[in-house]
Amino acid sequence: MSFAARAGALALFVLVPSLAEAQAGSPGGAVPVANLTARRQALIGKIKNGVAIIRGAEELANDPPNSKYPQATAFRQDNDFFYLTGLETPDAWLIVIAADSARGETHLFIPARNPQAERWTGPKVGPGPEAAAATGIPVTHIHPSDSVEVYLRNLLRANGGPDRSPTLWVRHTEWDTAPEFIQTAVLEQQRVGSRDLLPPLAALRLVKDEDEIRRLTRAAELSAQGHIAAMEFTKPGVWEYEIEAEAERTFRRLGAERLGYPSIVGSGINGTVLHYDQSRRQTQAGDLIVMDMAGEFGYYTADVTRTIPTSGKFTPRQAAIYNLVLGAQQAAMDAVRPGIMRRDLDVVARKYITDHQGDLCGAGGCNRYFIHGLTHWIGMDVHDVGEGPLVPGVAFTIEPGIYIPEEGFGVRIEDDILVTATGWVNLSKSAPRTVADIEKLMAAAKARK
Ligand SMILES: [Mn+2]
């Protein structure tokens, strides 16, 4: 073996400092330990008694010849796991043990560090003091991932027995892909049965804490800035994908680590296709363009739609439909207050359209062109989990739309609303929303070109 080869072999086994710092250096920053601890304690309070098992996202496969050639930036942690640990480490597990009479405890399982693999994929947080400092989980409760199966079996055996068998809380949605030892463990517990972990976790994730609100606020603001960039860029003849690129580079430049969802830029007739995401058409003067695009910041995503005229000026017909949609959106916003349901807002928006449509859509009325729901929750998922009335800390979209294929255009306006103790705020309000403000912004941009 040559000296160079020996040196190389040696270098493989030198551990470089782990990524705890690098993770904290992500644009979103680290989730404060106090928040993570509070969330885990709240989960223990919700499940009261039993054992919850949360599996982190798996390392991306790299198996030639079908290799996707995974990159660290393509990995995204499981939402529930990130919510409770703030860790982006792949192939990790969290076991939360609740007991009626005690505060409960949390055990974290993360892969032992592998110097050879880290030469390819970069340094990782291993089981040890760094993981304890990042999560607030005591280092004595942090173990290597490959010990999770034995740990769980012992835990259930120790707490089992005919009289007191702990309830297992698992996410039923991922049941089919759960490892065999989890499935076996649950089968062994069937006297008590397994319970779906989604409802208690969703109830927690629905009401955002201050660190989540910070992330969501930033996601909405950078998304609004991307919409402004797209408006300034647009003129007849540009392609839909160019508009998309203009917005997306702004999201990224302002700290978005990925898109919240595939961008939708639908001009003309494409604007009537709700999830059109090909972005392959060349725009023409006279088109309207529906742009539904947002970035994700620190695991929280906005969801923002604006509709603009390619030429910078709405036709009277387009403006009339636009203002009806805008009025419906504003009416729904004005009805937001703690205690009401999102479906109540849907009723308000549709009633506004009925009351103000005049003869814009003929005898059938405009609501027959409003073919989707008015709102959904936002958060770690663009269609986030949870249910129930509006309370301070929930966030959701208000997005009425009218799509008229026979006239070749659609209009959707979508903003992100956060309910506060004193009312609500529109997190995406920086993106112009009225006919006058959109035309003014596009005219100013044209004058500068
Ligand atoms: Mn939406």
DSSP letters for 353-388? HHHH-TTTT-TT-GGGG--S-S--B-SSSSS----S
Rounded distance from Cα 396 to ligand 1 centre (Å)? 9
Amino acid present at 274 = L
Place of tokens 């999770």: 148
Strand partners, 261: none
| Distance from residue 59's CA to the centre of ligand 1 (Å) | 29
Per-residue confidence (pLDDT) for residue 418, from 0 to 100: 98
| Residue of 291, 155, 276, 272 lying closest to 233 (CA atoms) | 291
The Å distance, Cα 412 to ligand 1 centre, comes to 10
Nearest CA to 108 out of 119, 92, 121 is that of: 92
CA atoms 227, 229, 232, 237: torsion sign: negative
Q: Where are the domains of the chain?
A: 3-205, 207-448
**Beta sheet of 415-419, edge-to-edge order:** 395-398, 415-419, 424-426
pLDDT above 80 for 342: yes
Distance 277 CA to ligand 1 centre (A): 14
* Distance between Cα 419 and ligand 1 center (Å): 17
Question: Which of the residue ranges 4-13, 378-387, 425-434 would you say has the lowest mean pLDDT?
Answer: 4-13
CA of 330 to the centre of ligand 1 (A): 16
CA of 378 to the centre of ligand 1 (A): 8
Distance in Å, CA 295 to ligand 1 centroid: 13
d(CA 317, CA 322): 9
Give the pLDDT mean for 27-56: 94
Residues 6+ apart with CB under 8 A from 16: 118, 123
pLDDT score for 49: 82
Q: What is the pTM of this model?
A: 0.91
- Residue 45 Cα to ligand 1 midpoint, Å, equals 32
Residue bearing tokens 């970069």 = 122
Would you say residue 23 has pLDDT above 60? no
CA–centroid distance, 272 to ligand 1, in Å, is 15
Of 3-7, 377-381, 406-410, least confident by mean pLDDT is 3-7
Taking the centre of ligand 1 as the mean of its atom positions, its distance from the CA of residue 261, in whole angstroms, is: 10
SS3 of residue 201 by DSSP? helix
At 9, which amino acid appears?
A
Looking at every residue in the chain, the average pLDDT score rounds to: 89
Alpha-carbon distance 376 to 387, whole Å? 10
Residue 191 pLDDT > 60: no
Residue 300's Cβ-side half-sphere holds a number of Cα atoms within 13 Å equal to 31
At 57, is the secondary structure helix, strand, or coil?
A: coil
Give the span between the Cα atoms of 79 and 401, in whole angstroms. Answer: 29
Please list, in sequence order, all residues whose beta carbon lies within 8 angstroms of the beta carbon of residue 180, skipping any fewer than 6 positions away.
Answer: none
Amino acid at 263: S
The residue among 139 and 168 whose pLDDT is bigger is 139
Residues whose beta carbons lie less than 5 angstroms from ion ligand 1: 303, 397
Beta-bridged to residue 415, according to DSSP, are 398
- Tens digit of each residue's pLDDT (9 = 90 or more) over 319-328: 999 999 999 9
pLDDT on residue 4? 43
| Beta bridge pairs of residue 282 | 239
Closest alpha carbon to 146 in 92, 204, 191 = 92
User: Ligand 1 centroid to 271 CA: how many Å?
Assistant: 15
Question: How deeply is 190 buried, as exposed, middle or buried, from its count of CB atoms within 10 A (0-12, 13-18, 19+)?
Answer: exposed
The answer to whether the beta carbons of residues 300 and 212 sit under 8 Å apart is: yes
Helices 210-233 and 240-253, packing angle to 10 deg: 140
CA of 275 to the centre of ligand 1 (A): 10
At 11 the pLDDT is: 43
Residue range 207-448 in CATH 3.40.50.300: no
**Residue 48 Ramachandran class (φ > 0 left, ψ -120 to 50 alpha, else beta):** left
CA 270, distance to chain mean position in Å, is 25
**Overall average pLDDT of the 214-223 stretch:** 98
- Residue 265 CA to ligand 1 center (angstroms) comes to 14
Q: What does the alpha-carbon distance between residue 345 and residue 12 come to, in Å, rounded to a whole number? A: 59
Average pLDDT over residues 121-136: 91
Q: Is 374:346 a contact under the CB 8 Å cutoff?
A: yes
Determine the pLDDT at residue 99.
77
Output the CA–CA distances (angstroms, integers) from residue 411 to 33, 240, 288, 325, 407, in the order listed.
43, 16, 8, 7, 12
User: What pLDDT is stored for residue 371 in this prediction?
Assistant: 96
Does the domain made of 3-205 have the CATH classification 3.40.350.10? yes
CA of 238 to the centre of ligand 1 (A): 25
The Å distance, Cα 64 to ligand 1 centre, comes to: 37
Q: Does the structure show a pLDDT above 60 at 65? A: no
Q: What count of other Cβ atoms lies within 10 Å of the Cβ of residue 131?
A: 23
Please give the backbone phi and psi of residue 93, each rounded to the nearest 5 degrees, phi first. -135, 150
Alpha helix (H) residue ranges in 189-280: 198-206, 210-233, 240-253
- The answer to whether domain 3-205 and domain 207-448 are alike in fold is no
Query: Which residue would you say has higher pLDDT here, 443 or 161?
Result: 443
How far does residue 355's CA lie from ligand 1's centre (Å)?
Answer: 25
- State in Å: Cα 214 to ligand 1 middle: 20
Distance 399 CA to ligand 1 centre (A): 7
CB atoms within 10 A of CB 28: 21
Query: If you measure from the C-alpha of residue 27 to the centroid of ligand 1, how many angstroms do you get, rounded to a whole number?
Result: 24
